[in-house]
Chains A and B, each alone.
Chain A
């Protein structure tokens, strides 16, 4: 009997750049065997605006608005990373009140960023309602940030040596009132989706990243902590006033300890929101009166040298490498972001997953396309 060999081949599917759940303009070229992914090749660069090149062409201060666009979901944190790097480079001292204001706005921004991350992960799983609830709370945070700096998305709030505006009257009261209102609502969103059986079935034991693998690929922030590495730049290499504040560093804890799956990464973000609320409350208690910005020369000429500064943004530590040759503009600015490293691990993780799982993986890594491409 002649055995006929059937010829089969993988189906190549193009996911993105216009796909509902790639969170921006990212493209994946997937080779699938039916529903199962055999090979996944991310194609990034659709949002590459050469921000690093722009930095080389302008004075030190003028680059701050561009850092907003590096990560527009958490622009305050991106502002801060750059400002801190330049301040260290030029030896500028930041007044204490400005540090407190920076922490407050950054943590507010972290809450709103994590809300987007959690909501988008839910929506990728097909649950719309938690997403809308999360965005509703984010609106309130946007209102608060608008109150302090006049912008709702790209803030340009921090300046070299401090912040641009002092907190307006009632900012403290309104923020604290929001936090009181937000805490039960956060519980509600949590209860609605995180304990849901179907949601857990979709997220648990999917795309497991071990601690070693996370270190090898240099995952950062919540993605790293989801794999059980308890490292937070705010705690382990404290900058600003974080060492005077009391907060915990959550690691991924599903129901079986640290696994490193999508659910662990997701739950870390939910826990971090609680910690941010704690931090903001403490800041308001301790905030001193005083200046909000140091005097900085119009034309800044830091000494020649290079520096690499890390700060904890919602998507992990953002590394700002600045090389200076003693001129009025940077010689080179390199921005190493959390989304970039998270993206580089996806080809390895995606093998053998379902197409629907790939969506879950992207959602759980909280990839923001402009931060990825810069």
Chain B
């Protein structure tokens, strides 16, 4: 594996003389990324369904392949065989274009996403900026889908998603700014490089302001990814299926492909920008290990998103906008300002940073321990009660 990565890295970074060779190399890389993206999206759909099943005291898909792991392939095949319906009165061109745009918007982000610490598909020095701009394509795709379907529920869904995603792009960008300020760069490589291996060296624990920024980023990214509690554009119980009501077959798959791949993107950005990328302490770090650590962090974030989805109800559309404009955006401005001042103070008193980070780390550990112990106690009590009641008395 190490060698493979090394080879691909060599190919990309090599001085490619002829344009043809460059084209082939880039094609290979994008194909590899496409493969990875498909696997991630499919795998996540499987993981999500199994996790949901676990939470709802049922099993979830378990028939196709070992433990049902190939279920997503069966689903994809099934959808591919479905008739490709285009409703009467639909704007045919836009209707066909919309899922592709959604897909491109998410696929484009994979160009700059890091793979571990040292390896990038393309190392842009404005990586974060590029990522945020290319995701905006998704909005246009959804709005197109809603408009062109000639269905009022779709239209409502499209309008909702436009309002939601345009609004929430602002807190996403603003909450990333403190970190950019801290690291002085927009490139993922330097963002990861500026962080250390131990948790208190991560950006999230740099100061209270980055700490809160992380949560703002997480909430706003949830909203950008149309996940519960912000799954308003496609809220099943209100808008049937929102913007993708009229889609069937492979076009429908494209939308959901994009959605699940987006899950991974959220996790990966959070891991790279806030959670220290793929660093590992005690000199254990190598390319492959950092890749695994990075994946672990990303998928942990993804798991939390899935967990939230199957626990929380959804916001109403006006409450969602209120949360964005009246809470998250002002708060993220405060965080930006606070971080700027903190940086000045840290510049004068260098020892202060490590103290603050350590204190924050201690608080996190305490909260985590408290949470886990409470959960354990709860589970124990429930089990005892159930055993007690089912066995007799």
Q: Is the CB of B238 within 8 A of A355?
A: yes
B386 interfacial contact with A, CB 8 Å: yes
Chain B CB within 10 Å, residue with most, of A126, A132, A184, A357: A126
Closest to B389 in A: A180
Contact of B317 among A126, A128, A354 (CB under 8 A): A354
Given the complex, which residues of A lie within 8 Å of B160, measured CB to CB? 35
Segment at the interface with A among B50-58, B82-90, B117-125, B211-219: B50-58
- Number of A-B residue pairs, CB cutoff 8 Å, is 93
Residue-wise, chain B 150-165 has the 8 Å CB interface mask toward A (1 for contact) of: 0011001001100000
Q: Is the CB of B316 within 8 A of A127?
A: no
Closest to A124 in B: B237
Q: Is the CB of A132 within 8 A of B238?
A: no
Least Cβ–Cβ distance between A263 and chain B, in angstroms: 12
Least Cβ–Cβ distance between A179 and chain B, in angstroms: 9
Q: A356-B235, A357-B316, A359-B238 are in contact. Are A129 and B311 (CB under 8 A)?
A: yes
Question: A residues 1-56 with Cβ under 8 Å of B?
Answer: 11, 13-14, 19-21, 34-35
Least Cβ–Cβ distance between B308 and chain A, in angstroms: 11
Given the complex, which residues of B lie within 8 Å of A170, measured CB to CB? none
Q: Is the CB of A129 within 8 A of B310?
A: yes
Given the complex, which residues of A lie within 8 Å of B311, measured CB to CB? 127, 129, 192
Segment at the interface with B among A82-90, A151-159, A198-206, A234-242: A198-206
Given the complex, which residues of A lie within 8 Å of B315, measured CB to CB? 198, 201-202
Contact of B318 among A123, A133, A354 (CB under 8 A): A354
A172 interfacial contact with B, CB 8 Å: no
Q: Is the CB of A356 within 8 A of B317?
A: yes
Q: Is the CB of B235 within 8 A of A126?
A: yes
Given the complex, which residues of B lie within 8 Å of A192, measured CB to CB? 311
Least Cβ–Cβ distance between A253 and chain B, in angstroms: 21
A193 to B235, CA, bound (A): 18
A356 to B393, CA, bound (A): 46
- Pick 5 A–B contacts, CB within 8 A, sort by A: A13-B152, A125-B314, A184-B382, A196-B313, A198-B315
Known: A20-B237, A128-B310. 19 other contacts (CB 8 A): A13-B152, A13-B156, A14-B152, A125-B237, A126-B229, A126-B231, A127-B312, A127-B313, A129-B311, A132-B56, A181-B386, A184-B385, A184-B386, A192-B311, A198-B312, A198-B314, A198-B315, A199-B313, A356-B317
What 10 A-B pairs are tightest by C-beta distance, nearest first? A126-B314, A125-B313, A180-B389, A132-B56, A21-B237, A127-B313, A181-B389, A124-B237, A126-B313, A356-B316
A residues lining the B interface (CB < 8 Å): 11, 13-14, 19-21, 34-35, 122-129, 132-133, 136, 177, 180-181, 184, 188, 192-193, 196, 198-199, 201-202, 354-357, 359
